[in-house]
Amino acid sequence: MTQPAIRVDVLEKSFPPARSGWRALLQPFEKPTSIALAGISFEVREGEALGLLGANGAGKSTLLRILATLLLPTRGHAYVSGHETVHDSREVRRRLGYHAGSDHGFYARLTGRENLLFFGRLNQLSFTAANQRIAELGERFHLSNALDRQVRTLSSGTVQRLSLARALLHRPRVLLLDEPTRSLDAIAAAEFRRFLKSEILQRGETTLLFASHTLPELELLATRIAIIDAGRLLACDTPPSLKQRTRCSTLEDVFLRLTGHDPETSLQELDQ
Amino acid sequence: MIRVLSVLWLFFWRDLAIARTYRTAFLMEAIEALFGSAMFYYVSRFVDSPQLQHALPEGKTYFAFSLVGFVFLDYLNVAIDTFDRSLEEARDSGTLEHLLITQTSLPAFLVGSAIYPFLRTALRIAIYVGWGAAFFGFPLKGANWPSVLVVLLVTLLAFSGLGILSSSYVLLLKRGNPGKWLLLGISSVVSGMLFPVSILPHWLQVVARLNPITYALDAMRAALLNGSNLVELWRPLVVLLVFAVVLLPASSATFAWALRRTKATGTLMHR
């Protein structure tokens, strides 16, 4: 049996309470009491695309950031290609690409190419390999004209594509996207989704775990959808199975029903 | 080793590439150095007194003494300041997370990010001293350049520990630099930056002797103005090396702990 690309095992995460004034000085040392993830478990197979759906504060970004080794879990474990995110974080990062929709994280005064070269080299690509990969991704992502311009002069959509190119430079086996179309207009978002579908998912080389509030985006890209509410995993299945199970015709109704926001039917009734 | 050097070079290349886009900044700094040098020259002409001459090393003018003090403190300032400034810039620009998910460690990022500021400051010192020598009679002939380089390097090692401690503080508490505030604030009085330690009251002289900046300044002045060799400089160099040996591992461990803490509390990107 092949190893899952991502395994999350009874993962819990709590944060210390937010403080202001002089109490903020003590915040790094306070006990974590605010629960963000409450024992989530699931697996993502190689080449699969799993979408995370949940309200703001449901725990989607926390989950992605733990997998990206940017956060430490309070309890439980997360694995990427069999490597544990806390104790084997370097191996995890070797296999991981991460792109957050609102956070470009580029050096504004360097060109797109210089930025990609810098991050590619930090990911242990040789100078030649990094340049080849930049040329290849530049063509695939329609970035050829943008590569030699300073990042501060590029549009949001172009910077998003540049950010995705950065996440893919070192050919990661797992790609984590946190609301990748959040800051894009409708046209750029549609183009970005088409691009993800045709250039990444259809090739089947990369496992995708992404969070989104855009339901058509989830239906278009995800093979399965995990619905998270208040740090708990309510369901994880294909969109047709979720609809069948909840007797709903749309993903929106599925989400509302499972999270208890549907006035007509409660989750308990469904279980009966 | 090659991998480490290549990563360090990469950060230097990044900073140089960014600096290249601010085309006139370096020229402005060079001109500013000329005015800074002139200011010390004219202040020294005003304040040169028999009492001061008595306190200065034999044959040295107050201009040479104060210029070395001023520019060298600038170098120490970079050693203490550059690590947390790099961290703050990376956090504010959003690049910190993307650096942390590469296969390069955060300590490599901190050290790499310090190379360009150090070299730039070393160059700025050279420009200050160069202007001083060209126009205001700064004595360069007797300098022992190998000793100057060793003093710069040992000082860098000794004070980088404080810089790394400061960046740990910034990681945890987001703003402020107590190391800089404490050390550079106190040192403006008790290190011999602008006047010899010997003119201070006795108890402040004792404080000055506990201050590593005093030793760094003594060593730099001795190498640059008196042409002292490494054997003659053994005492301040040993003090600085002890400081480095104690502080570098302690600050690295503190930084690793602070990073784990911010990853646990989720405050890595908080400002």
ipTM score for this prediction: 0.85
When mean pLDDT is compared over A102-116, B169-183, B228-242, the highest value belongs to B228-242
In terms of phi and psi (left: phi > 0; alpha: psi -120 to 50; beta: otherwise), the region of A154 is: beta
Query: Which residue, chain included where needed, has tokens 């400002």?
Result: B271
Burial class (CB in 10 A: 0-12, 13-18, 19+), B67: buried
- Which of A95, A173, A34 is closest to B101 using CA atoms? A95
Give the residue numbers in A contacting B (CB under 8 Å), as ranges: 15-16, 24-25, 27-28, 32, 36, 62, 65, 68-72, 74, 90, 93-94, 96, 98, 100, 103-110, 114, 118-119, 121-124, 150, 166
Q: Is-contact B128 B33, C-beta < 8 A?
A: yes
Contacts (Cβ under 8 Å, ≥6 apart) of A264: none
> Which positions in chain B touch A119 (Cβ < 8 Å)?
98, 102
User: Is A59 within the bounds of a domain?
Assistant: yes
pLDDT score for A222: 92
CA distance B8 to A85: 26
Answer whether A151's CB lies under 8 Å from A110's CB: yes
Tell me the nearest-neighbour CA distance from B22 into chain A, angstroms. Answer: 9
pLDDT of residue B105: 79
User: Above pLDDT 70, what percent of chain A?
Assistant: 91
More confident residue, A43 or A191: A43
Cα dist from B110 to A22, A164, B28, B97, B149, whole Å: 28, 25, 27, 14, 22
Residue with more model confidence, A132 or B83 = A132
Collapsed DSSP state (helix, strand, coil) of residue A253? helix
Across B193-220, average pLDDT: 85
Q: How far is A183 from chain B (nearest CA, A)?
A: 15
Between strands A49-54 and A75-80, the pairing is: unpaired
Residue A6 inside a domain? The answer is no
Of B13, B22, B93, the CB nearest to A105: B93
> Average pLDDT, stretch B180-205?
77
Cβ-defined contact of A105 to B260 (cutoff 8 Å): no
A16 contacts B102? CB cut-off 8 A: no
Does residue A161 lie within any of the structural domains? yes
Taking an 8 Å cut-off on Cβ atoms, the answer to whether B93 and A15 are in contact is: no
Considering only CA atoms, which of A94, A93, A116 is closest in space to residue A164? A116
**Nearest-neighbour CA in chain A from B24: distance (Å):** 15
Closest CA to B164 of B88, B91, B260, B79: B79
Look at B264 and A72 and tell me if their CB atoms are within 8 Å.
Answer: yes
Q: Is A121–B6 a contact, with Cβ atoms under 8 angstroms apart?
A: yes
| H/E segment holding residue A162 | helix A156-168
By DSSP bridging, strand A174-178 and strand A207-211 are parallel
C-alpha span between B87 and B270 (Å, rounded): 12
| Residues of B in Cβ contact (< 8 Å) with A104 | 94
A2-16, A203-217, B46-60, B235-249: which has the minimum mean pLDDT?
B46-60
| B38 token code pair | 């002139």
Of B97, B260, B261, the CB nearest to A70: B97
Confidence band for A115, pLDDT divided at 50, 70 and 90 = very high
Is the pLDDT confidence value at A53 over 70?
yes
Spatial strand order of the sheet with A6-15 comes to A34-44, A6-15, A75-80, A83-84
Residues in chain B within 8 Å Cβ distance of A32: 264-265
Helix axes B145-173, B212-225, angle to 10 degrees: 150
Contact A150 B21 (CB under 8 A): yes
Task: Find the farthest-apart pair of alpha carbons in chain B and give their distance in angstroms, rounded.
Answer: 61
Test B94 with A103 for CB contact under 8 angstroms.
Answer: yes
Q: What is the mean pLDDT of residues A241-253?
A: 89
Which residues in A lie closer than 8 A to residue B268 (C-beta atoms)? Answer: 70-71
Q: Measured on CA atoms in the order A180, A181, A187, A188, is the torsion positive or negative?
A: negative
CA distance A154 to A150: 7
What's the pLDDT score for residue A204?
Answer: 79
Question: Which residue among A16, A108, A150 sits closest to B265, beta carbon to beta carbon?
Answer: A16
Q: Both tokens of residue A71?
A: 């956060």
- Tell me what the mean pLDDT of segment A128-134 comes to: 94
Residue A145 has pLDDT above 90, yes or no: no
With CB atoms and an 8 Å threshold, state whether A32 touches B268.
no
Q: Higher pLDDT residue, A270 or A145?
A: A145
Confidence at B92, pLDDT banded by 50, 70, 90: confident
Out of B18, B100, B267, name the one closest to residue A28 (CB): B267
Q: Give me the pLDDT at residue A127, please.
A: 92
Summarize the confidence of residues B187-205 as an average pLDDT: 80
Q: Is the separation of the CB atoms in A204 and A47 below 8 Å? A: yes
Tell whether A35 is covered by a domain. Answer: no
Return the pLDDT at A228.
Answer: 93
Indicate the range of A191-205, B35-49, B120-134 predicted with least confidence: B35-49
The stretch A55-73 carries a mean pLDDT of 93
| Model pLDDT, residue A97 | 92
Section B98-116 average pLDDT? 85
Q: Is the pLDDT of residue A116 over 70?
A: yes
Calculate helix-pair angle for B106-136, B25-47, nearest 10 degrees. 50
Is pLDDT above 70 for A20?
A: no
B229 pLDDT more than 90:
yes
Q: Which residue of A has its CA nearest to B7?
A: A122
Distance CA A215, CA A242 (A): 13
Number of structural domains in chain A = 1
Alpha helices (runs of H) in chain B, residue ranges in sequence order? 2-20, 25-47, 50-55, 62-93, 95-100, 106-136, 145-173, 178-187, 202-210, 212-225, 234-265
Give tens-digit pLDDT for A151-172: 999 988 888 889 988 998 998 9
CB A218 within 8 A of CB A53: yes
pLDDT recorded at residue A166: 92
Q: Which of A113-127, A188-202, B130-144 is predicted with the least confidence, judged by mean pLDDT?
A: A188-202
Q: Which residue in B7, B17, B264 is closest to A110 by CB distance? A: B17
Q: Is B265 in the A-facing interface, judged by CB distances under 8 Å?
A: yes
**CB–CB of B167/B255 below 8 Å?**
yes
Min Cα separation B18/chain A (Å): 6
Domain ranges of chain B: 2-265
User: For the domain that residue A222 is a member of, what is the CATH number?
Assistant: 3.40.50.300
Portion of chain B with pLDDT greater than 90, in percent: 12
Asked whether the beta carbons of A71 and A65 are under 8 A apart, the reply is: yes
Which range in A112-126, B37-51, B167-181 is most confidently predicted, on average pLDDT?
A: A112-126
Question: What is residue B60's predicted lDDT score, i.e. its pLDDT?
Answer: 75
The span from the CA of A246 to the CA of A235, in Å, is 10
Q: Which of A48-57, B48-57, B61-70, B89-98 has the lowest mean pLDDT?
A: B48-57
A148 within some domain = yes
If one compares A104 and A6, the residue with the highest pLDDT of the two is A6
Per-residue confidence (pLDDT) for residue A10, from 0 to 100: 94
Task: Return the H-helix or E-strand segment holding A251.
Answer: helix A251-258
- Poorest-pLDDT segment among A145-149, B9-13, B85-89, B173-177: B173-177
Per the listing, tokens 């998003």 go with A160
Q: Hey, is A234 helix, strand or coil?
A: strand
Q: Which domain holds residue A174?
A: 44-72+81-271
* Distance in angstroms (rounded) separating the CA atoms of residues B178 and B184: 10
Query: Band of the pLDDT at A24, cuts 50, 70, 90?
Result: low
How far apart, in whole angstroms, are the C-alpha atoms of residue B261 and residue A198? 40
Q: Is residue A192 part of a domain?
A: yes
Using CA atoms, how far apart are residues A49 and B253, in angstroms rounded to an integer? Answer: 39
Cβ contact B95–A105 (<8 Å): yes
Q: In angstroms, rounded to a whole number, what is the distance separating the alpha carbons of residues A222 and A210?
A: 8
pLDDT at residue B50 is higher than 80: no
**Residue A20: closest CA among chain B residues belongs to which residue?**
B173
CB A51 within 8 A of CB B199: no
pLDDT at A234 over 90: yes
Q: Please answer yes or no on whether B14 and A107 come within 8 Å at the CB atom.
A: yes
Q: Is the pLDDT of residue B141 over 90?
A: no
**Percent of chain B residues past pLDDT 70, beyond the cut:** 93
Measured between CA atoms, the residue of chain A closest to residue B174 is A25
For A105, the closest of B7, B98, B268 (CB atoms) is B98
Average per-residue pLDDT in chain A?
87
pLDDT at A28: 66
Above 60 in pLDDT, residue A265?
Answer: no
